Amino acid sequence: MQTSIIGHQQIVEQLQRTVASDRIAGAYLFVGPKGVGKERVAHHFAQLIFCQQDTQPPTVCGTCLACRKADSGNHPDLQLIRPEGSLLRIGQIRQLQKQIIYEPLEASRKVYILTDVERMNAEAENCLLKTLEEPPASSVLILLTSNIEALLPTTRSRCQILQFHPMPTRELAEVLTDQFSVAPEQATTLAIAAGGAIGKALTQLEKGGTFTEEVPEILKETDLLAAFRLAENLKDNPEILDELVTWYRDLLFLQQGAPNELITHIHSLEELQRIAPYYSRLRIQQAIQIIFSTKSLLENTNTNATLALEVMCLKLLK
Ligand SMILES: [Zn+2]
């Protein structure tokens, strides 16, 4: 496993300083889109704490026993807690609370990484709050979320919040080319489709780097139900908004006779070519504009998300 982190340089340096000065907080909340690298950085943070190579600033050597145990998922003081099915359950939180009171076995601290914490119900979150209010001195909780709004203000205020941003797509494309031997054209396509989230790009690459997703029905349908289905889907997966833009952009490129290298969804080229004549250039530009303004509305205001998405999808309908 690689011992360096791609992107998030400032966050990693901040965590190094935290470990160097031994001013580690009891709880952290890593906020950022899915696949952006929150879990990688959380794991790296744990290793900065565990690594037996005493360097300044602290680094992750990747070869000492502690590093190797953490990499293989066998470090007794590192626990990764993921939702069971769709929810992070109260039983999992109670289990954590039973264990966290004990001293670490090998490291100076025990590290608990909880992924997708927005998927807790109120009961589980209130249970977790008890630990966040008084975390044992020898433990660190790292909560990861792509939707901070779904958490109680009290949960947020108990944690040190670190914000993770996607990489600029050009930068991500370079990383994919330089470090993962992806051909430059494909790297750009991948980076755009992943919205700058490296984890997403790498997952796609593992699947063979092909884009097998289907053309969203909103591009082809005139049916009201299609609009509501998309709105419903977007409510749970807001990151699809970025993806949706890439489809409209493909239509725009096709209309302008742009070379195929610029087409993100090259595997759906034929279908897109069939659809493109039904759109005017103005309509595609309007569609992209509508998506961007909805995205900004959702991110910057307390607007009713369901309503905003439904309005957007109806506007997108032909
Ligand atoms: Zn090490």
Q: How far, in Å, is the centroid of ligand 1 from the Cα of 70?
A: 9
Domain count for the chain: 2
Q: Are residue 149 and residue 233 in the same domain, yes or no?
A: no
Q: How far, in Å, is the centroid of ligand 1 from the Cα of 252?
A: 50
Least confident range from 35-39, 205-209, 225-229: namely 205-209
Per-residue three-class SS string for 252-290: HHHHCCCCHHHCCCHHHHHHHHHHHHHCCHHHHHHHHHH
| Alpha carbons 275 and 219: distance in angstroms, whole number | 8
- 239, pLDDT greater than 60: yes
Q: How far, in Å, is the centroid of ligand 1 from the Cα of 95?
A: 29
Q: Are residue 151 and residue 293 in the same domain, yes or no?
A: no
Q: Is residue 150 situated within a structural domain? A: yes
| Alpha carbons 192 and 162: distance in angstroms, whole number | 24
Q: Is residue 182 situated within a structural domain? A: no
Q: Are residue 19 and residue 138 in the same domain, yes or no?
A: yes
Q: Is residue 228 situated within a structural domain? A: yes
| Alpha carbons 180 and 105: distance in angstroms, whole number | 37
At 201 the pLDDT is 87
Q: Are residue 148 and residue 277 in the same domain, yes or no?
A: no
- For 150-169, how does the pLDDT look when each residue is reduced to its tens digit (9 = 90+)? 999 999 999 999 999 988 88
At 263 the pLDDT is 83
Q: Are residue 157 and residue 19 in the same domain, yes or no?
A: yes
Q: How far, in Å, is the centroid of ligand 1 from the Cα of 106?
A: 13
Q: Do 62 and 1 form a contact (C-beta atoms < 8 A)?
A: yes
CA dist list (Å): 104 to 72, 196, 240: 18, 37, 41
Q: Is residue 52 situated within a structural domain? A: yes
User: What is the total residue count of the chain?
Assistant: 318
Q: In what side-by-side order are the strands of the sheet with 139-145? A: 78-81, 110-114, 139-145, 27-31, 160-163
Q: How far, in Å, is the centroid of ligand 1 from the Cα of 58?
A: 10
Q: How far, in Å, is the centroid of ligand 1 from the Cα of 152?
A: 36
Q: Is residue 93 situated within a structural domain? A: yes
- For 93-139, how does the pLDDT look when each residue is reduced to its tens digit (9 = 90+)? 999 999 999 999 999 999 999 999 999 999 999 999 999 999 899 99
Q: Are residue 140 and residue 229 in the same domain, yes or no?
A: no
**Of the residues 128, 163, 198, the one at which a domain ends:** 163
The set of residues, in sequence order, having a beta carbon less than 8 Å from that of 313 and lying 6+ positions away, is 218, 227, 228, 230, 231, 234
Q: How far, in Å, is the centroid of ligand 1 from the Cα of 17?
A: 17
- For 295-318, how does the pLDDT look when each residue is reduced to its tens digit (9 = 90+)? 888 887 878 888 999 999 999 986
**Of the residues 148, 163, 178, the one at which a domain ends:** 163
Q: Are residue 47 and residue 145 in the same domain, yes or no?
A: yes
CATH number at residue 276: 1.20.272.10
Q: Are residue 148 and residue 227 in the same domain, yes or no?
A: no
At 71 the pLDDT is 93
At 235 the pLDDT is 82
208 band by pLDDT with thresholds 50, 70 and 90: low
Q: How far, in Å, is the centroid of ligand 1 from the Cα of 2?
A: 12
Q: How far, in Å, is the centroid of ligand 1 from the Cα of 205?
A: 29
221 band by pLDDT with thresholds 50, 70 and 90: confident
| Chain position carrying tokens 């330089």 | 178
Q: Is residue 195 situated within a structural domain? A: no
Q: How far, in Å, is the centroid of ligand 1 from the Cα of 93?
A: 29
Q: Is residue 2 situated within a structural domain? A: no
- 48, pLDDT greater than 80: yes
Q: Are residue 150 and residue 21 in the same domain, yes or no?
A: yes
pTM of the model: 0.69
Q: Is residue 176 situated within a structural domain? A: no
Q: How far, in Å, is the centroid of ligand 1 from the Cα of 61?
A: 4
With the CA atoms of 240, 246, 249 and 250 taken in that order, what torsion angle do they form, in degrees rounded to the nearest 10? -130
Q: How far, in Å, is the centroid of ligand 1 from the Cα of 272?
A: 50
Q: Are residue 145 and residue 242 in the same domain, yes or no?
A: no
Q: Do 162 and 31 form a contact (C-beta atoms < 8 A)?
A: yes
Q: Are residue 217 and residue 140 in the same domain, yes or no?
A: no
CATH number at residue 96: 3.40.50.300
| Alpha carbons 89 and 102: distance in angstroms, whole number | 22
Q: Are residue 156 and residue 46 in the same domain, yes or no?
A: yes
Tokens representing 317 are: 């309908």
Q: How far, in Å, is the centroid of ligand 1 from the Cα of 99?
A: 25
Using a CB cutoff of 5 Å, list residues around ligand 1, an ion: 51, 53, 61, 64, 67
Share of the chain above pLDDT 70, in %: 96
Q: Which domain holds residue 290?
A: 211-316
Q: How far, in Å, is the centroid of ligand 1 from the Cα of 72?
A: 13
For residue 283, count other CB atoms closer than 10 A to its CB: 14
